Amino acid sequence: MTTTGTGRPAAEGLRERKKRAMRRQLSDTAARMFLERGFDAVRVADVGEACGVSEKTVFNYFPSKEALLLDRLEATADALRTQLPNPALTPVSAMLTILDHELDGLATALAADADADRALERYRKFGDLIRNTPALRAYQSAIADRFVDIAAEALATRTGLRPDDPEPQIAAATLLGMWRVQFRALRTHVHPGRPLPDAIDAVSREVRRAARLAEAGLATFPTHANHADHD
């Protein structure tokens, strides 16, 4: 059996690639079906059938029907855990790093389509689907609340404070406010008929307006817990 440089079987990498490919196929197929027929009209079993797998297999990859469409938000959770504890960056700079990476990724994905207006129209329909589907709105709201908890935990590691102390809590809520600003700015500026680079620049400017206010508000965010009041 051949091995990788780490000593693990080469086949392990192949299995992981196959899992990622199946996960992507399921998510992309679900998105297409939801956009065409509506979220409530499509069953998880329908998505599985379209991909040649069982409903149980779909749930092995995704914990819920909503996650089929929005599970990529998990990348944001991972970025919060990685970037926010970094003492070399202010909390706002760390959040800007996360948001810029997400914005660059979206711009690259949209620009990859040879038909720019088709890509932008699909993106707008995706946003409409979330906004007009109560279950997806509720799932997105729950994810945003979880992001605040993750951010508070990450920020607490910078200070020695507890995640439920007031300073990490308010700082986390402020930083996730920047994420909401970017989400809404995308809704406002990215649409068919507007050049994508111009739209992305407009989104970035709005996020940086929010960042300036957040930076001023978090200027006194503690770097240690010496003055924390732990009742």
Domain that holds residue 156: 70-217
Q: Is 102 found in the same domain as 56?
A: no
Q: Residue 122, Cα to own-chain centre: how many angstroms?
A: 18
Are 78 and 46 contained in the same domain?
no
Return the structure tokens found at 154: 């990450």
CATH number of 24's domain: 1.10.10.60
Q: Estimate to the nearest angstrom the gap between the alpha carbon of 229 and the chain centroid.
A: 34
Please say whether the beta carbons of 25 and 47 come within 8 A. Answer: no
- In the block, tokens 């111009």 appear at 198
Rounded distance between C-alpha atoms, residue 69 and residue 112, angstroms: 20
Q: How crowded is the C-beta side of 40, counted as CA atoms within 13 Å?
A: 4
47 lies in some domain: yes
Residues in a beta bridge with 151:
none
Give the pLDDT of residue 116: 87
Report the distance separating Cα 56 and Cα 85, nearest Å: 37
pLDDT for res 73: 84
Chain center to CA of 127? 14
Q: Given pLDDT bands bounded at 50, 70 and 90, which one contains residue 158?
A: confident
**pTM for the predicted model, two decimal places:** 0.83
* Structure confidence at residue 225 (pLDDT): 53
pLDDT of residue 227: 46
Which pLDDT belongs to residue 15?
83
Among 196, 197, 28, CA closest to 116: 196
Mean pLDDT value across residues 127-140: 94
Q: Is the same domain home to 101 and 210?
A: yes
Q: Confirm whether 227 is domain-assigned.
A: no
pLDDT at 34: 96
pLDDT band at 222, cuts 50/70/90? Answer: confident
To the nearest whole number, what is the mean pLDDT of the chain? Answer: 90
The answer to whether residue 75 scores a pLDDT higher than 50 is yes
Band (pLDDT 50/70/90 cuts) for residue 1 is: very low
Can you read off the two tokens belonging to residue 149?
A: 């908890």
Return the pLDDT at 12. 58
Examine the domain organization and report whether 16 and 130 are in the same domain: no
Arithmetic mean of pLDDT, 27-31: 94
Same structural domain, 21 and 121:
no
pLDDT 10s digits, 42-71: 999 999 999 999 999 999 999 999 999 988
pLDDT for residue 224: 63
> Going by C-beta distance under 8 Å and a sequence separation of 6 or more, which residues neighbour residue 193?
117, 120
Examine the domain organization and report whether 167 and 79 are in the same domain. yes
Report d(CA 85, CA 153) in Å as an integer: 9
pLDDT in tens, 166-201: 999 999 999 999 999 999 999 999 999 999 999 999
Q: Is residue 228 part of a domain?
A: no
Percent of the chain with pLDDT over 90: 78
How many structural domains are present in the chain? 2
Indicate the residue type of 168: P
Average pLDDT over residues 95-117: 94
